[in-house]
């Protein structure tokens, strides 16, 4: 709280942690506005995490919800490697998820 107050002044009390469902909706909105065609790896933990995962699963956006931070990082590296190799070979990669 002290660090936050020092960084943001007297408005620290107006900022608060949001539920995962609110964060997930923000991610979905941003991905839609940006017309993202690559998968997003999302790690959510906390309040309303199951609702957040349901929102992401029902969307048409390629989102991989992963619970463990190390697993999320590993998945990001693997997907990055796939994209890099595909670009070298001039192959288009379709990240359709069978969900």
Alpha carbon of 72 to those of 9, 10, 35, 65, 69: distances in Å?
34, 35, 22, 8, 5
72 has pLDDT over 90: yes
User: What's the rounded mean pLDDT across residues 64-93?
Assistant: 91
List of E strands, the chain: 40-42, 63-65
Q: How many helices (H) and strands (E) are present in the chain, helices listed first?
A: 4, 2
Residues constituting the chain:
99
Q: What is the pLDDT of residues 30-61, one digit of tens each?
A: 999 999 878 889 998 888 899 999 999 998 88
pTM exceeds 0.75, yes or no:
no
Residue-level pLDDT at 12? 47
Residue-level pLDDT at 96? 67
The Cα–Cα gap between 71 and 51 comes to 21
């Amino acid at each position: 709280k002290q660090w936050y107050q020092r960084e943001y002044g007297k408005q620290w009390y107006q900022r608060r942690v949001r539920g995962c469902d609110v964060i997930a909706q923000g991610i979905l909105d941003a991905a839609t506005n940006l017309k993202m065609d690559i998968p997003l790896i999302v790690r959510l933990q906390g309040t309303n995490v199951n609702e957040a995962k349901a929102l992401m699963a029902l969307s048409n956006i390629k989102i991989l919800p992963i619970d463990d931070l190390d697993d999320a990082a590993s998945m990001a590296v693997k997907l990055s490697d796939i994209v890099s190799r595909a670009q070298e070979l001039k192959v288009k990669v379709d990240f359709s998820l069978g969900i």
